[in-house]
Amino acid sequence: MIKIEAIVREEKLEDVKEALNEVEVTGITVFQVSGCGTQKGYTEIVRGQEVEFMLRPKVKFEIVVSNEEWEQKAITAIQKAAYTGNAGDGKIFSYDLRSVMRIRTMETGTDAIN
């Protein structure tokens, strides 16, 4: 099992949600977060001047999928839906996930997410 975390522009929430619906993920969790990437939140940094991090509002998706095939489908869908081509479009992280349990049935592993 693989957990995908995607941090995207706030205004891309609906587009990414729709894109994930088309690849038939079985659940999503969405967070409102703030963060910055390599530009420290600034698109222009004053030359020679040290600036503090500026945190921008972003949306984070967490999705758990059963295998690498679904991981690739989800990542491709998110990338297409979240893309503008400008700095700040976001990032997609993925991790191997050790365990899952569906509370209602006590099913574990891929049974719990399919």
**Residue 57 Cβ vs ligand ATP, minimum distance, rounded to whole Å:** 9
Nearer to Mg ion, 39 or 72 (CB): 39
**Residue 86 Cβ vs ligand ATP, minimum distance, rounded to whole Å:** 7
Q: CA 20, CA 39: separation in Å to the nearest integer?
A: 28
Angle, helices 13-22/68-82, rounded to nearest 10 degrees: 150
Phi-psi domain of 79 (left: phi exceeds 0; alpha: psi -120 through 50; beta: other): alpha
The answer to whether 101 contacts ligand ATP (rule: CB under 6 A) is no
The answer to whether 54 contacts Mg ion (rule: CB under 5 A) is no
Q: Which does 90 bind (CB under 5 to 8 A by kind): ligand ATP, Mg ion, none?
A: ligand ATP
